[in-house]
Amino acid sequence: MCTVGGGPTGDLNFDDDRVKVKNYRCNDCEEKFPHINPNKKPICPNCDSANVTEI
């Protein structure tokens, strides 16, 4: 009998709460868009403006 690798699955144990999505609204064109990466500045995908407000 070989039972190697028969443990409970732990490789795909992602926690959804760790991924925070913030929503922003562009002050220039009123476009609403989600921003996922906190290391990057939120930029409007519609007009490339950085003049956005978190909603």
HSE-up of residue 53 (Cα within 13 Å, Cβ side): 5
Q: Which helix (H) or strand (E) holds 32?
A: strand 32-35
Instruction: Tell me which stretch binds Zn ion (CB under 5 A): 3-11, 13-21, 32-40, 44-52.
Output: 44-52
Minimum gap (Å) between residue 46 Cβ and Zn ion: 4
- The SS3 of residue 27 is coil
- Scan residues 1-30 and list those touching Zn ion (CB under 5 A): 26, 28-29
Positions in the binding site for Zn ion (CB under 5 A):
26, 28-29, 31, 44, 46-47, 49
